[in-house]
Each structure stands twice: as structure tokens, then as C-alpha cells.
């Protein structure tokens, strides 16, 4: 415990905490993306995947609580480091920023907090299924489907994703958050290696290029889903499997008439 306390109280220790938790969060971002990209396959694919996760409450809640702890440590380390840096230099730089500092690094805390706000909304939207937050006028808890090998109906996650991303402001918020995630990862991935002492003149250019390429690919992967939905992904499924009412009906009919 004393060792952990000493690590947390030092700036270098907090940087280690940010690096390790950042690696864990990067792994989650990749895994979550792989799961979400199943929306491009047969609807049964992502519905079966979602049902599998929900059928393992111990596993899913363990992962959620662990992820919550990792996010909390990452944010706490970032905020306390930022406060320590401000206290160490109460007078701003004459040029407005430190010489040689990348613009991404100056907005890491801001982008991280906005991403956190999006995550909270995203969980309320697609995990807690809080009525009134999806903008469709429909309670997503009522959307169910049949999948192979399961006798009872399961949540129709495919329909939830398609209906959810048909709402313009939801998609806009999602894309803004993914853009900020792109900025955050572009700098954060490289910083993780630096904090762990893995920066040298041979590997640093490769690490920097990896961070840039990975952040671009992740942004494209996540952004492709709402863009595809707005372009018509899932339209036929909704017309045949999900009765449209209220705002959802107007959205479905408008899309059908435009095709």
C-alpha cells in the first residue's frame, strides 16, 4: 500500500498510471469496435453477440466495473497532473504555450472530458436504454428479435443501432466524440510509450507513425457505422421487422421515399 501511495504521489508515478490505464483503454476501444462492426453483417450476428454478453452477467459486470476503475484512475491522474503543472507555472507562457508542444497535447484533458461525457450518454442510450434519450420517440426496451439457437426473444441491438443513428443530433454527437477520440489517441498512444521509457531515436518515429495510423483507422471504423446508417444501412430490416411509430415512423418513411 505504501508503495502504491508513493507511486501516486509522484508525477512520474501518475504518468505510469496514465500509460498503463491508457493501454487498457486502447484495448477496450479496439474490442468494442470489433463488436460494433458486426452491424455490417447479418442482423443475427450482432444480436447474437449482444445476447452472449448479456447472458454472462458476472463477466460483463466484472468488465464494466474494471473498466470504470481504469477510466477513473486515468482521469484522476490526468486532472491531478494538469493541476500540478499549473501550480508549478502559474504564469502562462509568453507565446500562449510551451515551445515545441503539439496542439493535441494542449487539449488532451478537454478532449478526454468531452469523451467521458459522450461515454456516459452512450451507456444511457444503448446499455441502460433510458427512454427519451434516443430521440426516436420509441422505447428501445420494446425492440426484440429471434436469433438461432435461442427460444426466447432477445434485445434487437441491430434495430437499436440503426434507429439510434438515424437521429441527426445523435450521429453528430457521436462523430464529434470520435473526432476527439482520434485527437486523443493520436497523442496519447505515443505518450504512453514515452512515459514507459520506450522512447529513443530509432523507435520514436515508428511509434509516432503507429499512433497516427491507429487513431485514423479507429476513427474510420467507428465513424463508418453512423455514416452507413444515414446512407441506408438497415432500411429494409426496419421496414420488415420493426413497426415504425412516432418519430421513428417519420424517419423510416422519409428514408424509404428518398430511395
In a domain, 96, yes or no: no
Residue 23 in any domain: the answer is yes
| pTM value surpassing 0.85 | no
- Within-domain flag for 59: yes
User: The CATH number of the domain where 22 resides is what?
Assistant: 1.20.1300
Q: Are 137 and 244 in contact (CB under 8 A)?
A: no
d(CA 208, CA 191): 9
More confident of the two residues 237 and 198: 237
* Torsion from C-alpha of 102, 103, 106, 107, nearest 10 degrees: -140
What are the helix and strand counts (H, E) for the chain? 11, 2
| Rounded Cα gap, residues 222 and 37, in angstroms | 8
Give the whole-angstrom CA distance, residue 67 versus residue 25. Answer: 8
Q: How far is CA 215 from the centre of its chain?
A: 12
Q: Which domain, by its residues, includes 34?
A: 2-91+102-258
The 10s digit of each residue's pLDDT in 130-188 is 988 888 888 999 999 999 999 999 999 999 999 999 999 999 999 999 999 988 888 88
Q: Is 25 within a domain?
A: yes
Mean pLDDT value across the chain: 83
**Within-domain flag for 97:** no
Answer yes or no: is 245 within a domain: yes
Domain assignment present for 178? yes
Which grid coordinates are listed for 27? 484495448
Burial 209-247 (b: 16+ CB within 10 A, else e): eebbebbeebbebbbbbbeebeeebbbebbeeebebeeb
pLDDT at residue 155, as a whole number: 95
Q: Provide the 8-state DSSP code for 143.
A: -
**pLDDT score of 88 more than 80:** no
Examine residue 9 and state whether it is found in any structural domain, yes or no: yes
Number of domains making up the chain: 1
- Angle at 36 (CA atoms; ends 31, 38), nearest 5 degrees: 110
Cα separation, 257 vs 102, whole angstroms: 47
On the question of pLDDT at 192 being above 60, the answer is: yes
Q: Which range (3-12, 73-82, 104-113, 246-255) has the least confidence?
A: 246-255
Across 59-88, average pLDDT: 86
Measured CA to CA in angstroms, residue 46 lies from 14, 39, 169, 175, 189 at distances of 38, 6, 24, 21, 29
Amino acid at each position: 500500500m505504501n508503495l502504491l501511495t508513493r507511486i501516486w504521489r509522484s508525477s512520474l508515478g501518475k504518468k505510469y498510471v496514465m500509460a498503463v490505464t491508457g493501454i487498457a483503454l486502447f484495448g477496450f476501444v479496439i474490442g468494442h469496435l470489433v463488436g460494433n462492426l458486426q452491424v455490417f453483417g447479418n442482423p443475427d450476428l450482432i444480436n447474437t453477440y449482444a445476447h452472449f454478453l448479456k447472458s454472462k452477467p458476472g463477466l460483463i459486470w466484472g468488465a464494466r466495473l474494471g473498466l470504470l476503475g481504469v477510466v477513473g484512475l486515468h482521469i484522476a491522474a490526468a486532472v491531478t497532473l494538469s493541476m500540478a503543472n499549473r501550480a508549478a507555472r502559474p504564469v502562462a507562457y509568453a507565446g500562449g504555450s510551451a515551445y515545441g508542444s503539439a496542439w493535441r497535447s494542449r487539449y488532451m484533458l478537454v478532449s478526454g472530458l468531452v469523451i467521458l461525457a459522450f461515454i456516459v450518454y452512450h451507456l444511457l442510450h444503448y446499455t441502460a436504454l433510458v427512454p427519451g434519450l434516443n430521440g426516436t420517440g420509441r422505447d428501445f426496451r420494446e425492440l426484440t428479435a429471434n436469433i438461432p439457437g435461442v427460444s426466447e426473444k432477445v434485445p434487437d441491438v441491430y434495430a437499436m443501432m440503426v434507429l439510434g443513428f438515424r437521429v441527426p443530433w445523435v450521429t453528430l454527437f457521436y462523430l464529434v466524440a470520435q473526432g476527439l477520440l482520434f485527437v486523443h489517441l493520436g497523442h496519447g498512444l505515443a505518450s504512453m510509450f514515452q512515459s514507459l521509457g520506450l522512447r529513443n531515436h530509432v523507435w520514436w518515429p515508428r511509434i509516432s507513425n503507429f499512433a497516427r495510423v491507429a487513431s485514423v483507422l479507429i476513427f474510420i471504423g467507428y465513424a463508418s457505422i453512423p455514416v452507413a446508417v444515414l446512407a441506408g444501412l438497415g432500411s429494409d430490416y426496419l421496414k420488415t421487422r420493426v413497426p415504425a411509430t412516432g418519430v421513428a415512423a417519420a424517419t423510416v418513411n422519409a428514408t424509404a421515399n428518398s430511395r
